[in-house]
Amino acid sequence: MYFYYFKLALLSLRKTPLLTLLMVAMIAIGIGATMTTYTISYMMSKDPIPNKSANLYQVQLDSLNYEFADNDILPNTIAYQDVQALLKSDIPKNHVALGAIQTEIGPIDNPSIERQTLEVRTATSDFFAMFEVPFLHGGGWSEQDGKDAAQVAVLSKETNGWLFNGENSVGRTFYFGKDTYRVIGVLDDWNPLPKYYELSYAAFKKPNGVFIPFNTQIKNEFLTLKLISNYCWKEPDDQSFAALLTSECMWIIFWVELSNAQDRDQYQAFIDNHAKEQQALGRFPRRIFNKLLPLKEYLTDEEIVSDDSKMAVWLAALFLLVCLLNCMSLMIAKFDAKAGEIGLRRAVGASQNDIIKQFAIELSVIGLAGGLLGLLFAKLGLMAAANTYHYLHSGLMQMNSQLLMSTVMLAVVSSLLFGLYPITKASRMQPSSQLKSL
Amino acid sequence: MRDFLPIIKTFKKKKTAPILLAFQIAVTFMVLVNAIYMISDRNDIIARPVGVDIANTLSVITNLSDEQGDLVNQLEDDLIALKSIYGVVNAAPMTALPLEGWGSYLDVRFDPDEEYVASSGYFGSNEDVIDTLGLRLVAGESFLASDIQTTELNGIHKSAKILITKALAEKISPDDWRAILGKSIYFNKEPHEVIGVIERLQNAWSSWSMVEYTVISSVRETNHSQRYVIRVEPGQMESVIKTIPEVLLTHANKRIETIETLSEIKKRSYQADVANNQLLTSVCIGLTIITLFGILGQAKFTINRRIKQIGTRRALGASKSQVVGYFMLENAIISTIGVVIGILAAIILNNQFVELLSITPVPVNFLLFGAGAIVLLGQLAVAYPVSQAAKVSPAITTKG
């Protein structure tokens, strides 16, 4: 039965090729535009680390002497003195202090490769476990290496490709500024989107190409102000790096992983306690107000998904609506032209339901074709978007299987939804009115 | 106009198609008006002057190296070298660059223990800053060489003489902005004496609502990553950029991080806005085409259905232009209904949209102008099928 309707549908579509093509094109254009913008917005707002996003918290401490912004908003960074104290706690499953520097890097034994200035992530040893960073060769540095400020580094796949031709470079050395550092790990492809552990301005940029222990940065007094958010509400004693470390300047991002609510409460008590101790020593002059900001809240607070991208989705959805309304007019025109056929089928015994089924199948075929063509348009749209939004990570412009499926679904469902009225209208037609003219 | 009543009567009989078309026009109208308004709004923002002759100004970021001894000497050597290049008007050190997206900001207070009265961007430079950036001093005076202090980092904490933009002066001294001259304002508990007001200079963040509030302090910094701004004579940009590495790279420890014109920095600063405008423009174009197709298809469909009726009217003495007029009027009525729904929806939905997406509401004259444009567009789209309809021969009534 359904197979017969399917055949009828194809027959009918072939009879009016221009109209069919127009309907398919309308749906495809609307779907293409909607899915292009939706993909970008979806990829921007998706949970970057679903299996543990509920357990990750950014630590924010109010060590200021006056109100920062609105009462509840605190800087994203904390002072070095506090980092040292927090790292002593064994309540979190993982905790990590993050900094960033910029330095010149180059190979030792390959003069044909010119040195480059690269951005380097500095982190404590839990970084790789906490953010589930995949390794191709070797691994991260040990806690001891981290504490000892060892001159070791983890390279991204890309950096390793550039420095060592993509070979397993674990154990080999390279120029890091004026020193030589030893490679202890090479990452596999790793592109968390959004790059949640960072300051918000870099959320859609690639992770840095080199990683070194945080203490190595401290020991060698590396500092690149451009790459950090340094909030110095009180001037350091002098211009030295040592003075920065003992100052109130807040410049280190600090994340903790807390497995459950109990740990969370315990850790909150721990940081509050730390603040009280410091207050007794004359720091934390304003109040004891410390936040464990859940990752998801951090992403919304920082407006990682821009209003612009949400607005683009809205506009594209309205665009789809216009396309579908247009398509609906075409459907009405089409069914109107088929009045004679409907009358005849009804007269020879087809029920209203049969007519509805037949046309629903016809529309599903159109919707499906529109959806598939729409996928192609969306693909082209995303390519154009990658070009227009060249400064964003290209990973945002890629559909996953979930999006692919929902694109086709959206096309079929919306064409049926907008076909509902034309179909029922056609099925209600009185056979007699049409048979007269036959 | 006497066609008006018959048209309305036809709508009553066959209402679905015109309703759909009117609705489609309403949505199109809403999207177009909002999108075009957003585009022009953004273009206005991008077109705001920086306050600097950006086409003839460039920035160099280079290192000052501890291995080479005193940083202040290196800074002065660099400046002498840069100023010696043929085609350079002047050069000055700067702690950050306009629209660079990175730098320091501060809260301005009249009394260190009181609430702040404004926030502002911060640049530290020397006595050459006015000439180098081509700023216009509208009150007071510029720095003297003897005013300039030197520090390695955090010049923002040093009490110093400052210049402020007129926008900031008007903000903190609303009654008489000139009255701010000679007064001290505080940031980080240190007093800073305002000695001059400059007409305009945007600070480091183009998307900040306070981008026009800028302070230039007479404190130069000797950063390890040092920024210089250089103004060149018109037409000399390329040759100056080529010469800079030759004069700066005098020893093995010297590196140049970037050489960029301020036009490039401005372009990067607004790249998201430009990209979004492109997206909006393509949505507008696509939507217009689709709607035109809709109007065209609708006209063709109704005309095909009424071939006989047209023939009859022609046979009864209607001229071609009367037939054309009938269908044009029909389309104009549908478009107008659509636009009216669109305006009502825009007014009702606008508040939600404004809140949801934090956009500025569309002004009324924009709505009216858009309405006119849409009706005109409909008339254009309908013109071709209608001119075909007018060709229907009266003889058709005699057949079948």
- From A233's Cα to the closest Cα of chain B, the distance in A is 7
- From A389's Cα to the closest Cα of chain B, the distance in A is 6
A128 and A148 housed in the same domain: yes
Structural domain includes residue B308: yes
A18 and A124 housed in the same domain: no
Looking at A54-104, list the stretches that DSSP marks H as alpha helix, in order from N- to C-terminal side.
80-86
B positions 120-179 inside 8 Å of A (CB): 151-154, 157
Q: What is the pLDDT of residues A299-349, one digit of tens each?
A: 877 776 667 777 778 888 888 888 888 888 888 878 877 888 888 888 888
B249 and B370 housed in the same domain: no
Of the three residues B200, B225, B253, the one that is the final residue of a domain is B253
Residue A187 pLDDT level (bands cut at 50, 70, 90): very high
B234 and B93 housed in the same domain: yes
Judge contact between A255 and A96, C-beta under 8 A.
Answer: yes
Structural domain includes residue B298: yes
At A268, which amino acid appears? Q
A23 and A162 housed in the same domain: no
CB B283 to CB A33 under 8 A?
A: yes
Q: Higher confidence at residue A216 or residue B302?
A: A216
A155 and A31 housed in the same domain: no
**For residues A73 and B91, what is the distance between their CA atoms, to the nearest angstrom?**
40
Structural domain includes residue B263: no
Per-position b or e across B218-247, b if 16+ CB within 10 A of its CB: bbbbbbeebbbbbbbeeebbeebbebbeeb
A246 and A329 housed in the same domain: no
What is the average pLDDT value for chain A, to the nearest integer? 87
pLDDT, average across residues A199-218:
87
Structural domain includes residue B57: no
Strands (E), A22-72: 56-61
Per-position b or e across B286-303, b if 16+ CB within 10 A of its CB: bbbebbbbbbbbbbbbbb
3-class state of residue B122 by DSSP: strand
B288 and B215 housed in the same domain: no
Judge contact between A108 and A177, C-beta under 8 A.
Answer: no
Q: What is the pLDDT of residues A249-282, one digit of tens each?
A: 999 999 999 999 999 999 999 999 999 999 999 8
**pLDDT value at residue B215:** 94
A69 and A8 housed in the same domain: no
A257 and A149 housed in the same domain: yes
A36 and A71 housed in the same domain: no
B179 and B312 housed in the same domain: no
Return the structure tokens found at A137: 């060769």
- Closest to A389 (Cβ–Cβ): which among B20, B275, B298? B275
Mutate to test the interface with A, among B67, B287, B350, B360 (most CBs of A within 10 A): B287
**pLDDT value at residue A338:** 80
Report the DSSP pairing between strands A210-213 and A116-123: parallel
Residues of chain A contacting residue B255, judged by C-beta atoms under 8 Å apart: 104, 117
**pLDDT value at residue A319:** 85
A252 and A386 housed in the same domain: no
What one-character DSSP code corresponds to residue A264?
A: H
Mutate to test the interface with B, among A237, A309, A322 (most CBs of B within 10 A): A322
Structural domain includes residue B210: yes
Q: B280 — contact with chain A (CB < 8 Å)?
A: yes
Structural domain includes residue B60: no
Residue A14 pLDDT level (bands cut at 50, 70, 90): confident
Q: Which helix (H) or strand (E) holds B17?
A: helix B16-47
Q: What is the pLDDT of residues A395-411, one digit of tens each?
A: 788 888 888 888 888 88
B111 and B180 housed in the same domain: yes
- CA proximity to B259, closest of B233, B239, B234: B239
pLDDT, average across residues A70-76:
80
DSSP per residue, B222-268:
--SEEEEEEEE-TT-HHHHHHHHHHHH--STT--EEEEEEHHHHHHH
- Cα-based angle A201, A204, A207 (whole degrees, multiple of 5): 95
Of the three residues A239, A273, A301, the one that is the final residue of a domain is A301
CB A322 to CB B283 under 8 A?
A: no
A16 and A129 housed in the same domain: no
- Closest to A117 (Cβ–Cβ): which among B102, B257, B301? B257
Structural domain includes residue B54: no
A30 and A96 housed in the same domain: no
What is the average pLDDT value for chain B, to the nearest integer? 87
CB A333 to CB B301 under 8 A?
A: yes
At A169, which amino acid appears? S
Q: B61 — contact with chain A (CB < 8 Å)?
A: no
Domain count, chain B: 2
Which residues lie below 8 Å from residue B385, measured CB to CB, with a gap of 6+?
A: B296, B299, B300, B303, B327
B132 and B11 housed in the same domain: no
**pLDDT value at residue B50:** 93
Q: Which helix (H) or strand (E) holds B395?
A: none
Judge contact between B298 and A22, C-beta under 8 A.
Answer: no
**For residues B34 and B361, what is the distance between their CA atoms, to the nearest angstrom?**
8
Segments forming the whole domain that contains residue A412:
2-48+306-435
Domain count, chain A: 2
**For residues A185 and A155, what is the distance between their CA atoms, to the nearest angstrom?**
6
- CA proximity to A180, closest of A153, A213, A141: A153
Alpha-carbon B113 to chain mean position = 38
**For residues B377 and B381, what is the distance between their CA atoms, to the nearest angstrom?**
6
B141 and B246 housed in the same domain: yes
Whose tokens are 């060489």? That residue is B145
CB B31 to CB A316 under 8 A?
A: no
- CA proximity to B333, closest of B14, B16, B21: B21
Structural domain includes residue B127: yes
Segments forming the whole domain that contains residue B370:
4-47+272-398
pLDDT, average across residues A200-220:
88
**For residues A33 and A315, what is the distance between their CA atoms, to the nearest angstrom?**
9
B139 and B246 housed in the same domain: yes
Name the stretches of chain B with pLDDT < 50: none
> Within a 10 A sphere around the Cβ of A179, how many other Cβ atoms?
12
**pLDDT value at residue A71:** 67
Of the three residues A261, A284, A301, the one that is the final residue of a domain is A301
Of the three residues A243, A275, A301, the one that is the final residue of a domain is A301
B279 and B248 housed in the same domain: no
B99 and B246 housed in the same domain: yes
Q: Tell me the sheet residues that pair with B108.
A: B118
B363 and B333 housed in the same domain: yes
**pLDDT value at residue B358:** 61
A310 and A178 housed in the same domain: no
Q: B20 — contact with chain A (CB < 8 Å)?
A: yes
Q: Which helix (H) or strand (E) holds B99?
A: none
**For residues A95 and A79, what is the distance between their CA atoms, to the nearest angstrom?**
15
3-class state of residue A247 by DSSP: coil
B305 and B177 housed in the same domain: no
